[in-house]
Amino acid sequence: MMTAVATSRIEARFRELRERQAKGLVVYLTAGDPSLEATGELLAAIERGGADLIELGVPFSDPLADGPVIQRASERALRAGATLRKILEHLPRWRDTLRAPLILFTYFNPVLQFGLEKFAREAAQAGADGALVVDLTPEEAGNYGGVMRAHHLDTIFLAAPTSTDERLELAARSSTGFLYLISRTGVTGERAELAASTRTLVDRARRVTSLPLAVGFGISRPEQVREVQALADAAVVGSAVVHTIEERYPSGGAAAIEQFVRWLKEGTGSSPA
């Protein structure tokens, strides 16, 4: 007898991409930047622009894995009152208009203070599909994976160029949905070139897991998106989108962000000014 296995929205999206022989574009934005109202509009625009998956950043006071662009976005979002609680309150409305899987990208302390069980329950009810906790490694995760899975949420862990094969395997084993590969040592931010370490890391990851692989950190232009997509299953663009929101959203509105994501996705023409 066949047992029905629940397929997460993230798994389904990667399967669909594979069937189309396409590669994914994952877009990151900070929730509440510049306001919680704007986030709803930006999410819709990012999906229209062609994002296949969306990472929604929960702003933290001390984002030590982030470079200056996301640090500034976090400050704007916190000034706008975007706490985890507020984000989860707004999430059902945002979810209604979106098809793309939504991954909450957060630091651990806000989740810890909110309560792990409550976080998983409310995130699932609000329509999130998974979470990535940037300063929570598999060793310290304790019952995080179990609690999240009980609420049908995917847990995405990171692997870095400094991860040993053993750690790479641990990250893969602890992840569901996909595995997030950090393209270079360092904080988030736009870079002119893709690190040479990317290919090696993707190859090493392929040897230990059949999970889809997304590569992020430092990807800001369509050529880089293409380059990553040639290696992995998806490319993640964060700081470049957040930077564009900072510079163009105030005057150009959500349409400017949609245009930017489309430029990343389709890779034609020059950066829309």
Q: How far is the CB of 193 from other proteins (least distance, A)?
A: 15
Binding residue for other proteins, selected from 24, 32, 101, 110, defined by CB under 8 A = 110
Distance CA 201, CA 183 (A): 8
DSSP 221-246: SHHHHHHHHHHSSEEEE-HHHHHHHH
Q: Contact region for other proteins (CB under 8 A) — 20-28, 46-54, 153-161, 256-264?
A: 153-161
Cis peptide before 34 (omega within 30 of 0): yes
Q: Residues 27, 42, 182, 202: which binds other proteins (CB under 8 A)? A: 182
Would you say 134 or 213 has its CB closer to other proteins? 134
When computed from its CA atoms, the radius of gyration of the chain, rounded to whole angstroms, is 17
Q: Between 45 and 123, whose beta carbon lies closer to other proteins?
A: 123
* Stretch binding other proteins (CB under 8 A), from 35-43, 155-163, 207-215, 228-236: 155-163
DSSP assignment string, 176-206: -S-EEEESSSS-S---SS--THHHHHHHHHH
Minimum distance from CB of 27 to other proteins (Å)?
A: 21
120 close to 153: Cβ distance less than 8 angstroms: yes
Residue 164 contacts other proteins per CB under 8 A: yes
Number of Cβ atoms within 10 Å of the Cβ of 205: 22
- Among residues 66, 154, 227, 258, the one annotated as catalytic is 66
For residue 87, the minimal CB distance to other proteins (Å) is: 10
- State which residue, 45 or 170, has the beta carbon closest to other proteins: 170
Structure tokens at 175: 């992840």
Considering the complex, what minimum distance in angstroms separates the CB of residue 207 from other proteins? 18
CB 197 within 8 A of CB 161: yes
Closest-CA residue to 132 (of 150, 111, 152): 111
> How many CB atoms are located within 10 Å of the residue 127 CB?
17
Residue 55 among the catalytic residues:
yes
> In the complex, what is the shortest distance from the CB of residue 91 to other proteins, in angstroms, rounded to a whole number?
16
Of 109, 116, 124, 253, the residue at the interface with other proteins (CB under 8 A) is 109
Q: 105 has which bridge partners?
A: 57, 132
Does residue 113 interact with other proteins by CB under 8 A?
yes
Question: x-or-dash pattern for other proteins, window 122-151, by CB under 8 A?
Answer: ------------xxxx-xx-----------
Q: CA 272 to CA 252: how far, in whole Å?
A: 11
Check if the beta carbon of residue 34 is closer than 8 Å to that of residue 84. no
Q: By rule CB under 8 A, what count of residues binds other proteins?
A: 41
Residues recognised as catalytic: 55, 66
Q: Which residue ranges make up the site for other proteins (CB under 8 A)?
A: 60-65, 67, 71, 75, 78, 83-85, 107-114, 134-137, 139-140, 157-164, 167, 171, 182, 185-187
